[in-house]
């Protein structure tokens, strides 16, 4: 039996994204303020005193696994740090002008007005990776310990299913699942009075926790989208700095949720990307190909003309909204940010809501520290705080937005308009419109027509359009090759038999990093699944949309994955 080091902290945050970084920093500030007020006689409670706060992060550095568009609404950051600009928050540029385009295959129809949810004037175009790196520096200055390259692989419970901490992933496990002789390092257990899961979309520990404790009972299933992004360097004059463009239409068909963005940044850098709903019907859809096709539109290609692609990334987006939020607490644990459905799907914004959820979690933890009670009796106040904050005011009126698109684009636009006029009621009168999990919606090959012709005209010229492997290179992906694959396919026989006939092996298409391929095996005289796990960009798409739900994404050895610093 492996002996593991046990480290005890008071508060543990899993994941160094905007929600947890804001939470940790806010908690430290709250503790300091509380103790100062006790000292001055303003409060009758005892001083809290020394509190150990730790953050564990699976990436090589804070920001390495952080990816977003991103136009940031600074609302929550202003609450956390009113002088964030003076303190050096690394914004790229302020949004100065905006456009909204509806695209047909060859034409661009520019809206004379910007739809209210997409108005971003005065917000900031940022690299979320850089913002998180900066927030991490502020946390470390506040005596918060951040441990990078330490993936949390398992939740620890006591006999009553109370969360008591996490187990970190071992280092030095070989492909055969056995410890490597030369460099095996057993992981440790981090025990905490309260653990906060802020792992982002489809967090692996949050997924385990929700299933084990039934935190999604009575909720709508979470639904997701996949955002694929490139950074380009373009000639001066192709796009104005601070100009923001959002698009609808081409190349998505009318039954598939999809839309693009183009942001003009400093130094002639362009952030360009495309979002595809991971609840599409046609198993032949390839989200990466959708993005490459998007760039071939004349209006888009003109902006990129003469330019050079310099970075790539992909990330899932938890877009289901309010009705998909799980119970946000249990004994010893809280859920914050994207893993708990805090994204505003209508505005396609989640940085500010993630940060606010973290700050409210911090306020709840302060109360728990004062009362020395980390059970649900106190932690349930987090959910109350969310319901009484501007998070409710923003997210509840858009509670039915993404689900509306499961009936098709034109129906959804009418529905969304009625929701906008009726504080979120679907069709103007339905408080909660049900939807279907993405993996359950995918149709079989026998139910579709013309899917094979979808990308016939798409060619990868490696100037404007790129194949997956070229893009993965630009994501700076690195994994230790001598380790067990972190993509657990529970029954590969299904891949070689049923899935071939029923869905045409959609994993080779829905993965934006060419992780999955069907390779001919002469011994069995058939194609069988090959998993190129070292390509993985940690988007979790396979875990989300596999129609058989037999792919389980787990954390790889610490430090493995993409490097999105600066993205």
Each residue's pLDDT expressed in tens, for the chain with a length of 567 residues:
678 899 999 999 999 999 999 999 999 999 999 999 999 999 988 999 999 999 999 999 999 999 999 999 999 999 999 999 999 999 999 999 999 999 999 999 999 999 999 999 999 999 999 999 999 999 999 999 999 999 999 999 999 999 999 999 999 899 988 888 788 888 899 999 999 999 999 999 999 999 999 999 999 999 999 999 999 999 999 999 999 999 999 999 999 999 999 999 999 999 999 999 999 999 999 999 999 999 999 999 999 999 999 999 999 999 999 999 999 999 999 999 999 999 999 999 999 999 999 999 999 999 999 999 999 999 999 999 999 999 999 999 999 999 999 999 999 999 999 999 999 999 999 999 999 999 999 999 999 877 678 899 999 999 999 999 999 999 999 999 999 999 999 999 999 999 999 999 999 999 999 999 999 999 999 999 999 999 999 999 999 999 999 999 999 998 899 999 989
Cβ-contact 292, 465 below 8 angstroms: yes
Residues 6+ apart with CB under 8 A from 39: 47
Among 247, 314, 318, 248, CA closest to 286: 314
Query: For residue 145, what pLDDT is reported?
Result: 98
Among 427, 436, 432, CA closest to 406: 436
Cβ-contact 419, 397 below 8 angstroms: yes
Question: How many other CB atoms are there within 10 angstroms of residue 8's CB atom?
Answer: 13
User: CA angle at residue 60 from 16 to 266, to 5 degrees?
Assistant: 75
Query: For residue 181, what pLDDT is reported?
Result: 74
Cβ-contact 184, 176 below 8 angstroms: no
Question: How many other CB atoms are there within 10 angstroms of residue 178's CB atom?
Answer: 11
Query: For residue 451, what pLDDT is reported?
Result: 63
Handedness of CA 156, 191, 484, 487 (dihedral sign): positive
Task: Tell the residue number behind the tokens 């690195």, with chain if given.
Answer: 478
Query: For residue 185, what pLDDT is reported?
Result: 87
Query: For residue 499, what pLDDT is reported?
Result: 98
What is the arrangement of strands in the sheet containing 91-94, beginning at the earlier edge strand? Answer: 71-72, 124-126, 91-94
Longest dimension (CA), the chain: 80
Question: How many other CB atoms are there within 10 angstroms of residue 343's CB atom?
Answer: 26
């Amino acid at each position: 039996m492996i002996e593991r080091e046990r480290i005890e902290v008071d508060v543990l945050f899993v994941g160094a994204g905007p929600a947890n970084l804001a939470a940790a920093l806010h908690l430290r500030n709250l503790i300091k303020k509380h103790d100062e007020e006790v000292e001055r006689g303003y409060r009758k409670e005892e001083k809290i005193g020394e509190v150990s706060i730790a953050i564990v992060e699976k990436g090589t550095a804070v920001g390495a696994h952080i990816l977003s568009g991103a136009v940031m609404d600074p609302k929550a950051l202003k609450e956390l740090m009113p002088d964030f600009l003076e303190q050096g928050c690394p914004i790229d540029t302020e949004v100065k002008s905006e456009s909204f385009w509806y695209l047909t295959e060859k034409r661009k129809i520019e809206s004379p007005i910007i739809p209210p949810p997409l108005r971003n004037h005065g917000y900031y175009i940022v690299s979320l990776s850089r913002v998180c790196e900066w927030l991490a520096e502020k946390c470390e200055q506040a005596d918060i310990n951040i441990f990078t390259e330490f993936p949390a692989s398992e939740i620890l419970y006591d006999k009553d299913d109370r969360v008591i901490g996490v187990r970190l992933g071992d280092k030095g496990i070989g492909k055969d699942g056995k410890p490597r002789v030369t460099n095996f390092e057993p992981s440790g257990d981090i025990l905490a009075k309260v653990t906060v899961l802020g792992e982002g979309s489809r967090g692996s520990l949050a997924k385990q926790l929700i299933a084990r404790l039934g935190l999604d009972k009575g909720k709508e299933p979470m639904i997701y989208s996949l955002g694929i992004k490139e950074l380009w360097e373009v000639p001066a004059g192709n796009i104005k700095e601070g100009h923001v463009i959002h698009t609808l239409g081409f190349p998505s068909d009318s039954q598939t949720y999809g839309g693009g963005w183009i942001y003009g940044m400093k130094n002639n850098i362009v952030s360009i990307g495309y979002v595809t709903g991971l609840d599409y019907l046609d198993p032949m859809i390839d989200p990466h190909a959708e993005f490459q096709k998007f760039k071939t539109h004349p209006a888009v290609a003109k902006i990129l003309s003469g330019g050079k692609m310099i970075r790539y990334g992909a990330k899932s987006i938890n877009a289901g909204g309010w009705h998909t939020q799980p119970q946000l607490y249990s004994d010893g644990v809280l859920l914050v940010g994207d893993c708990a459905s805090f994204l505003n799907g209508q505005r396609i914004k989640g940085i500010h809501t993630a940060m606010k959820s973290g700050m409210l979690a911090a306020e709840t933890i302060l109360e728990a520290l004062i009362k020395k009670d980390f059970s649900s009796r106190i932690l349930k106040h987090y959910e109350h705080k969310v319901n009484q904050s501007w998070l409710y005011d923003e997210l509840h009126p858009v509670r039915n937005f993404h689900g509306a698109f499961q009936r098709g684009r034109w129906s959804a636009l009418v529905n969304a308009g009625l929701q906008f006029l009726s504080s979120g009621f679907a069709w103007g009168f339905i408080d909660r419109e049900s939807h279907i999990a993405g993996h359950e919606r995918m149709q079989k090959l026998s139910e579709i027509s013309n899917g094979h012709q979808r990308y016939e005209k798409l060619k990868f010229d490696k100037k404007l359009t790129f194949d997956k492997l070229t893009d993965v290179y630009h994501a700076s992906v690195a994994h230790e090759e001598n380790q067990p694959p972190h993509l657990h396919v529970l029954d590969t026989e299904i891949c070689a038999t049923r899935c071939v006939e029923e869905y045409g092996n959609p994993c080779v298409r829905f993965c934006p990093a060419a992780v999955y391929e069907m390779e001919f095996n002469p011994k069995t005289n058939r194609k069988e699944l090959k998993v190129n796990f070292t390509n993985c960009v940690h988007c979790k798409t396979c875990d989300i949309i596999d129609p058989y739900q037999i792919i389980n994404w787990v954390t790889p050895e610490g430090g493995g994955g993409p490097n999105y610093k600066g993205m």
